[in-house]
Structure 1
Amino acid sequence: MPGTNARTSHGESGARAVVLRLWRNIGCYGLFNLALLLFIAGLVADGGPVVLPLLVLALFVVGVFRMVRLLRYTLRVRVKKIGDVVPDLVAPGARFCLILRPFGSAGYIIVRSGRGRRTLTLGGMKVTSTMEQVVSRAWSDVYASEAYAVVDPDLALAPGGLVYMRAEHAEWKEPVARLIEAAHSIVLILPPHQEIRTSTWWEVRKIIELQRLERLTVVLPPYDVKGNGYAQARRELCKLLAVVEDPLCLVHLAQGTDPLISGERVDYYERDMLPPRTLGVHFFRNHGGMHQYRDDGPIMYSFGTGVDSTSLVLRRKSKVSESTYRPLLLAAYRSDAEELP
């Protein structure tokens, strides 16, 4: 959604996110393989052997085709107007997952998909997913229905796998409020290198007002990628937890302003409550101790963390991948199904 505390996203085409993801997939090793291919092609042109270059070329072509198949992006023609989608979603019996994150953030959190490492058959490249795809695939695996996200009206490219709804910068609040009220599950993605925007605080306030907190899951970027903004995203999550603990700071929030958050409570969550490798939290009720009092039962949150194991062969810590997020997401979706309407 639009908002303050971030770079303006007007005119966001999505091309920068595509370039970032391609680099994460290709990497230095992929570029080395490409350079090797060009070097061998030069030797062949000078009368060298043909069999080895043909083998390398075949493997590289197979890798390119695999990457093209796995890196599908949604074009503008597949992005729908939010006004055309909302009536069907809020109808009785509809079940969907709503993905929330600021405008201009689509595709910027990139996660190893676990469906392929850098191998010869990938041409030295690796397969990744965006966080939107991780969330939507876990959702469709449980309920075989769609996940939806609201995007900038100027967006031209976005990660495939979910339905995008185009909303104008001044006309998104009313339909988003209806979607929050009707959604089976809500996933808030905290993007890298950003503070929580004013628009996101509005969404959090609406979630609390509509008593949908127990259907909310918040996910963070992977912690094992240098420069991925994990530390700041984790700090922003602690701010959100402090606000949920004292939602009165949102009740009288003036239009276009952010809540006043206790720095002491934020430090408490960051230092004492959340594990260092928290990847997300899910809110739920009637499970153990109390986090927030409500008339119909207390709200608590559970957290999901990354895997911290060592390979006996490679002697290195395992990496965060799509499968690392899935347990948290699957448990969250199933918990949402157990909640009363």
Structure 2
Amino acid sequence: MTLRLWRNVGCFGLLNVALLLFIVLLVATGGPVLLGSCVFALFAVGVFRMARLLRFTLRIRVKDAADVVPDLVTSGERYCLILRPFGSAGHIIVPSGRGRRTLTLSGMTVTSTMEQVVSRSWSDVYAAQAYAVVDPGLALAPGSVVYMRAEHTAWKEPVERLIATAHSIVLILPPHQRIRTSTWWEVRKILELERLERLTVVLPPYDVEGSGHAQAKDELCKLLAVIEDPLCLVHLPDGADPVISAERVDHYANDILPPTTLGVHFFRNESTVFEPRDDGPVVFQYGAGIARRSRILRRKSKVSEYTYRRLLLEAYRSDAQERS
């Protein structure tokens, strides 16, 4: 919450607060009242707009997974499933919209969590809900997503059911973390249930110092190397992590993914021959005889919610085409 508040206010917002205090002091000591009134009015408008824009993003929606999952998976409802490790909710923060600071916001900018970016993009396409399973200790959660509590010993069964019926699956790689054993279990289930073509993976923004993008990109390369050789997951004992080819990780990191990678989405291609290619991170085949390839989102300008929406909207619409 503190990090998000700082991203909202930023240096320009603090500068405006300091300017406001200076003007108030100037007026109080006999300075021009009109100038002080104009600056105060502009600042008040900015605060009002900020509060209005954030009003619908701070609702708490945390339910018990046992009360939601059974009805959800049997209802036939089209929904998006958000996956990320327990304790990582709201850890990726990006500017909303195109991320611009304006005078009408008093130099401040509105931000969104990655979960909100994923959910709002999904809602814009299908007017439906996005769901995420969280640890039972979560007390506060950003709005736009339906959060479901699950105990640390009882989360696998509902998550597997959600993976099996989700229309789209978004895996968020949180900053400054390695892929946990629990996430490898989720990837394994995605492969076993042949849901890979529904999967989108997103990373933190690359243009924010300390965002953890570089490490998340390395973890994405490990994920691609494992998906390229899914047998290392199929026979993986519970509680163990896969043995990953360092050579393939380096290949994706140095030869395939650009430094500005923000995510990948997997597309299905009805082919029955395994054929590695150089024009995408992964083209592979296993089990069901389905070849898949990834597309990369690249962007050099300031990263914001608008930047991620391009990848997410394309992914959601591709999922709809796969289902049709």
TM-score with structure 1 setting the length: 0.87
Check if 1:37 corresponds to 2:17.
Answer: no
The amino acid that maps onto 2:173 is: L
Give the 5 Å matches for 1:216-295: 216-286=199-269, 291-294=283-286, 295=288
Displacement of 1:161:
1.2
Report which stretch shifted further, 274-283 or 39-48: 39-48
SS in 2 for 1:238: helix
CA contact (8 A) 2:270 2:290 kept: no
Displacement of 1:286:
0.8
SS in 2 for 1:188: strand
SS in 1 for 2:294: strand
Displacement of 1:62:
1.5
Gaps of 5+ in 2: 277-282
Q: Which residue of the partner structure matches residue 162 of structure 1? A: 145
Check if 1:130 corresponds to 2:113.
Answer: yes
Give the 5 Å matches for 1:170-181: 170-181=153-164
For 1:275 and 1:149, the matched residues in 2 are separated by: 29
Check if 1:64 corresponds to 2:47.
Answer: yes
Give the 5 Å matches for 1:293-304: 293-294=285-286, 295-304=288-297
The amino acid that maps onto 2:3 is: L
Check if 1:95 corresponds to 2:88.
Answer: no
For residues 37-78 of structure 1, the C-alpha deviation after alignment (integer angstroms, 9 at most, x for no partner) is 1111112222322221121111112211222222344455x2
Q: Which residue of the partner structure matches residue 11 of structure 2? A: 28
Report which stretch shifted further, 83-92 or 224-233: 83-92
Cα RMSD between the aligned structures?
1.7
For 1:173 and 1:34, the matched residues in 2 are separated by: 48
CA contact (8 A) 2:263 2:311 kept: yes
The amino acid that maps onto 1:293 is: Q
Q: 1:87 to 1:74 in 2, by over 3 A?
A: farther
For 1:277 and 1:287, the matched residues in 2 are separated by: 30
Report which stretch shifted further, 241-250 or 325-334: 325-334
Displacement of 1:110:
1.3
For 1:207 and 1:227, the matched residues in 2 are separated by: 30
TM-score with structure 2 setting the length: 0.92
Q: Which residue of the partner structure matches residue 321 of structure 1? A: 304
Aligned residues: 313
Q: 1:55 to 1:97 in 2, by over 3 A?
A: same
The amino acid that maps onto 1:218 is: V
SS in 2 for 1:278: coil
Misfit runs of 4+, over 6 Å: none
SS in 2 for 1:187: strand
The amino acid that maps onto 2:104 is: T
Q: 1:103 to 1:281 in 2, by over 3 A?
A: same
For 2:75 and 2:15, the matched residues in 1 are separated by: 55
